[in-house]
Amino acid sequence: MVKWLREGWIDYVAPQIYWNIGYKIADYHELVDWWSRHTYGRHLYIGQAAHRINTTRKWRNPSEIPNQIRLNRSYPEVKGSVFYSSKAMLKNLNGINDTLRNDLFLAYAEPPKMHWKPEDITTIVAVTEHVDTSAIALIKSRRLPQPRTPMNISATKVRKEVLLTWEMHESQKKFIADTNSYYKVYRFKGKYAGHLSEKHLFAETKKPYFMLSRKGKGLFRKKYTFVITAVNSQNTESWPSESVIVKMKQPRQ
């Protein structure tokens, strides 16, 4: 399934996470976190275990599924829920239907857009040479697909520095229109990558590599996690690559 997501063969995945939050063998929280880090830009919908309501002590808690949905919403990668089964939902176990209708799903929501699918867009082109500068032409163009996630990110020590390298996805090598304009390098403290934001943007480069140096970047003895995204000529950004952990040692005085 992860390969299908990474290769872009499917548009969404709906893992059936039919365990409660805190379950030792398969903690709901840990599984949602794992799936959210392995979507590769595709949509993630969580399978909710409505059929398990009232089956055990944990599932007799009327707040279990509502808490799961609130947890889902803390992950931007999670686009919604799928409730199993319809038979259980018709029974309104523990008043779950009422809670969903009157609290968690009060407002209508449009289906999330799949931005990797091409669509027609209108582009305005201002003509400013050899003609009246007020002349404006409207043309139809194609929106480029969302760039594919960079692959095979690695970190290699080169003397006193570390070289980050990655590869363009194989499918993008075949089409000029899909090639990346540049890459973004994101850095996070510790051994986990968080949600992408400008404060975590470490560098931008047109090459599929970046040299990490101790000078000026404050790496030193701290452990950092790096991820890479690709950006096309229309400024559409891919989903982040797999993460790589780097620790730079303090140079000897």
Domain span including residue 88? 2-104
Residues 98, 163, single domain; the answer is no
> Within a domain: residue 128?
no
Residue 216 resides in a domain: yes
- For residues 239 and 160, state if they share a domain: yes
- Per-residue pLDDT at 24 exceeds 50: yes
Point out the least confidently predicted range of 44-58, 62-76, 101-115.
101-115
Q: Do the domain assignments include residue 55? A: yes
Residues 9 and 100 in one domain: yes
- Indicate whether 173 and 236 sit together in one domain: yes
Both structure tokens of 147: 């760039």
Q: Count Cα atoms within 13 angstroms, Cβ side, for 131.
A: 7
pLDDT of residue 160: 78
- Contact (Cβ atoms closer than 8 angstroms) between residue 180 and residue 172: yes
In a domain, 199, yes or no: yes
Domain co-membership, 238 together with 163: yes
Residues 6 and 99 in one domain: yes
Does residue 122 lie within any of the structural domains? Answer: no
**pLDDT > 80? residue 219:** no
Name the average pLDDT for the chain: 82
Q: What is the DSSP letter of 238?
A: P
Residue whose structure tokens are 């950006």 = 231
Sheet containing 209-212: give its strands across: 151-158, 161-167, 209-212
Domain assignment of residue 127, yes or no: no
What are 125-165's pLDDT values in tens digits?
444 444 444 444 444 456 677 788 898 999 998 877 889 99
Residue 205 lies in a domain: yes
**Number of structural domains in the chain:** 2
Which of 71, 104, 137 is the C-terminal boundary of a domain? 104
User: Which of 176, 184, 189, 178 is CA-nearest to residue 227?
Assistant: 184
Q: What is the CATH number of the domain that holds 234?
A: 2.60.40.10
Per-residue pLDDT at 109: 77
Tell how strand 43-49 and strand 78-84 pair up: parallel
CA triplet 196, 200, 202: central angle to 5 degrees? 120
Q: Judge whether residue 193 has pLDDT over 90.
A: no
Lowest pLDDT segment from 36-45, 101-110, 119-128: 119-128
Among 104, 135, 162, residue at a domain's last position: 104
Same domain, 14 and 91: yes
Say whether the peptide bond before residue 141 is cis (omega within 30 degrees of 0). no
Identify whether residues 77 and 159 lie together within a single domain.
Answer: no
Is residue 144, in this structure, part of any structural domain at all?
A: no
Q: What are phi and psi of 52, to 5 degrees?
A: -95, -5
